Amino acid sequence: MRTASQPDVMLPTRRLEPSHGWNLHRLSEIWTYRELLYFMVWRDIKIRYKQTALGAGWAILQPVLTMVVFTVIFGQLAKLGSDGKPYPVFSMTALVPWTYFATALSAGSQSVVANQHVISKVYFPRLLVPLASVLGPLIDFGIAFLVLIVLMFWYGIVPGVAILWLPALLLLSVLTAAAGSIWLSAFNVQYRDVRYVVPFLIQLWMYASPVPYSSSLVPARWRLLYGLNPMAGVIDGFRWALIGGPSPGAMTLVSAGVVILALLLGAAYFRRLEGTFADRI
Amino acid sequence: MSSQPVIRAEHLGKRYRLGARRRQHGTAREAIAGAANRLLGRLRGGRSDKASQEILWAIDDLSFDIQPGETVGIIGRNGAGKSTLLKILSQIMEPTTGFAEITGRVGSLLEVGTGFHADLTGRENTYLNGAILGMKRAEIDRKFDEIVAFAEVDRFIDTPVKFYSSGMYMRLAFAVAAHLETEILVVDEVLAVGDVQFQKKCLGKMDDIARRGRTVLFISHNMEAIQRLCTKGMLLDRGRLIASGSVTDVVTTYRAAEQSLVDVGRFNSRGRTGTGWARVKDVRLVDGTGNAVAGRPAEDDLTFELDIELTNASKSGASLRGLVTELVICSEQGQPLVSLMNVDDDGVELPSVTACRITARLPGPTFLPGRYRMNLFLGIPYLEHVDEVPDALEFEVLPPERPWRPYELNISRQIVCRKAEWICTTAVPAAEVAIS
């Protein structure tokens, strides 16, 4: 154990002072605190389905029931096109990343306020809080993804080599959820309106994303603009990687660019506000 | 190099805007309305509403050095800024002015069990809480057995903590915290947990930590604990550092300052309301010989004397008869604790006179040492508030002059502590015998 009687060990000196402006310094602290991030994700997973009757069954039920409803309403009644693929598989490939995103965004946007007790008692980089709550729902994603594979097998769909892009696309949806959560959770500290806005936002966002319909409904010249919605890029990417179809290429690149920009600005904004979290919460 | 301080604070200050409290919790709509108001105000040439907000400096221009290995007790009344200072030093809050330079890791124990989750087991919470406090996983692995042994919960370590007794819960929480090995430890009155034996163990552990050459900052209202654990003291009053030095000197200064506060024990009629045809002229706490005093030792009776009179005695036929007197004794924070009324079985009725003195004696011991306030009420039940005086008297319950066990165990929390008639039988009731 290190004691004060061993002054030969040089310890870093930190300066605590009022922070000014937008800055990203000390972002590397996230790495120093990676074990805490791990424990926070682990806690979220552990308590996720505590005291529920169905447990992880909810991770299957949610996308599957939505898929059934979509198949009946949009597939059968409204006869929305599905690019020549069976509508259940077509909608499920979108619902799996979408359900992940929706769960992660609603948990992430509430995360800082939900952890206010810890935040007002102990220091750690506050960015860990929204990050951890975005990583937790990946478990649900994994379970729902297995259901999707079964469904593809049932319809005899074999993915091509494009499936190798899937990890990158998953990363893109994690980053989209992270960017949204960082912005919204910081807003939420000051304006609790966020709690009421988020469910509505998620609903609107779903219809703005090619979840029940194909993005081929969007005219080609608007396609790049459509990519400004990062989830459009993610979902088109998922469809391309899993059940084939035209490569979303440029559109997904636009999405990736938007997300990285939103993430960096969000992190700077969050860092700017985090010093005041304990005062305001 | 050892002369370099581990903590160096220069002109540290933390400001709160009291008027802004509502807005801090506000909704976007309020913020928009507020912005519009400010804009309108500026257009009209008025000052923005910031000027009208009350500003409170929770800590104000603090400069100090703490050397490696020092154990510093931070003392002061409630609201002196002790907790704010610890929160700034443990990086939970940012200062508004000045800066602090800190060399080494800071472990902050502002409460025990931060981040404990009821659904997780003792083992899981140990890891989670350890990680939140800043321990590495390997460090927790290494100390795990020691923590469990210290907390005396080994049989239940894989049971969710929601099934723990509160004593077990606190023991585990303290045990994790006590095994934190940062160079600097910041502790806010977490000692008084669990039963007597465990409290002793906690104090022993703190002693141990202090002796091992780590730097400790410790807040407590318990002067005995401060003097036992700390070598140096810092006395804060309304955000300012008013004394620092050896712990004995600072504690002495604190006690002297507490005694000399002028308004303690004096009748304060500010803020009185009511129809006012009769009034409390004076109220005081008196000792055994009838002298007005500011405080009484905990084990003694509390005797209050009230002088009541008609304000317009010339009015024929009027008297004090039928008036009900109530004394409400509150904690220092204003939380009502006890009500004393003269219409109780042992009470007296006010006579048909124009002025009288009424005495209420509350047998001791009742209150643990601390500062208390009293609200006064004079009225006719269901009909009329005649005289109502909030904060009419502030008085002190002093540490007992004879040993009083509940005080030793409660470590100066402001609560009511009465004697009860206790009975303990060894015979098992017949019904239970029949079941087994």
Taking only the tens of pLDDT, chain B with its 436 residues reads: 446 889 999 999 998 876 544 444 456 666 666 666 666 655 554 444 444 456 788 899 999 999 988 999 999 877 788 889 999 998 888 899 999 999 988 888 887 778 889 889 999 999 999 999 888 999 999 999 999 998 888 899 999 999 998 778 888 988 898 888 888 888 887 655 556 677 777 778 877 887 787 898 988 877 777 888 889 999 998 889 999 999 999 988 887 776 655 466 678 777 788 888 889 999 999 988 888 888 888 888 999 999 998 887 556 677 888 889 999 998 876 778 899 998 877 788 888 888 899 999 998 888 888 888 899 999 988 888 889 888 888 888 887 877 777 777 765 455 788 878 888 887 666 555 555 4
ipTM, two decimals: 0.85
For the segment A92-106, the average pLDDT, to the nearest whole number, is 95
Cα A142 to the center of its chain, rounded Å: 14
pLDDT per position as a tens digit, A121-159: 888 999 999 999 999 999 999 999 999 999 999 998 888
Answer yes or no: do B94 and A19 touch at CB < 8 A. yes
Half-sphere exposure (Cβ direction) of A267: Cα atoms closer than 13 Å: 20
A15 beta partners: B101
Nearest CA to B216 among B250, B254, B243, B190?
A: B190
Answer yes or no: do A4 and B119 touch at CB < 8 A. no
Distance CA B205, CA A239 (A): 60
A–B interface: beta-carbon pairs under 8 A:
135
Q: Does position A273 have pLDDT exceeding 50, yes or no?
A: yes
Report chain A's terminal Cα–Cα distance, integer Å. Answer: 37
- Long-range CB contacts (< 8 A, 24+ apart) of A65-68? A66/A91, A66/A95, A66/A99, A67/A91, A67/A92, A67/A95
What Rg, from alpha-carbon coordinates, does chain B have?
27
pTM for the model: 0.71
For the segment A17-31, the average pLDDT, to the nearest whole number, is 74
The sign of the torsion formed by the CA atoms of B85, B87, B88, B90 equals positive
Tokens of B250: 């600072």
Dihedral-angle region of residue A140 (phi above 0 means left; psi in -120 to 50 means alpha; beta otherwise):
alpha
Residues 6+ apart with CB under 8 A from B68: A4, A7, B2, B4, B5, B6, B183, B213, B215
Answer yes or no: do A190 and B24 touch at CB < 8 A. yes
For the segment A14-21, the average pLDDT, to the nearest whole number, is 78
Nearest CA to A278 among B145, B126, B114, B137?
A: B114
Distance CA A111, CA A129 (A): 6
Q: Of the spans A62-71, A196-205, B376-385, which averages the highest pLDDT? A: A196-205
Look at residue A98 in the predicted model and tell me its pLDDT.
Answer: 96
Query: Using CB atoms within 10 A of its CB, is residue B79 exposed (0-12), middle (13-18) or buried (19+)?
Result: middle
Which of A15, A17, A192 to mutate: most B Cβ within 10 Å? A17
Q: Using 50, 70 and 90 to split pLDDT, how confident is the model at A21? A: low
DSSP string for B42-106: HHTTPPPTTTTS-EEEEEEEEEEEE-TT-EEEEE-STTSSHHHHHHHHTTSS--SEEEEEEES-E
- Find where tokens 């598989």 sit: A89
CA trace torsion B407, B411, B412, B415 (10° rounding): -70
Contact B178/B216 with Cβ under 8 angstroms?
no
- Long-range CB contacts (< 8 A, 24+ apart) of B20-27? B20/B53, B24/A190, B24/A279, B24/A280, B25/A192, B25/A280, B26/A190, B26/A191, B27/A191, B27/A192, B27/A193
Q: Using 50, 70 and 90 to split pLDDT, how confident is the model at A29? A: confident
The sign of the torsion formed by the CA atoms of B173, B177, B179, B180 equals positive
Tokens of B281: 């002229």
Amino acid (1-letter code) at residue B313: A
Look at residue B114 in the predicted model and tell me its pLDDT.
Answer: 83
Tokens of B116: 């404990």
Higher pLDDT, A174 or B194: A174
Look at residue B44 in the predicted model and tell me its pLDDT.
Answer: 54
Higher pLDDT, A11 or A106: A106
Answer yes or no: do A17 and B98 touch at CB < 8 A. yes
Look at residue B193 in the predicted model and tell me its pLDDT.
Answer: 57
- Run of H or E including B130: helix B122-133
Determine contact: B2 vs chain A, CB below 8 A.
Answer: yes
Q: Using 50, 70 and 90 to split pLDDT, how confident is the model at A1? A: very low
Look at residue B38 in the predicted model and tell me its pLDDT.
Answer: 60
Determine contact: B21 vs chain A, CB below 8 A.
Answer: no
pLDDT per position as a tens digit, A101-113: 999 999 999 999 9
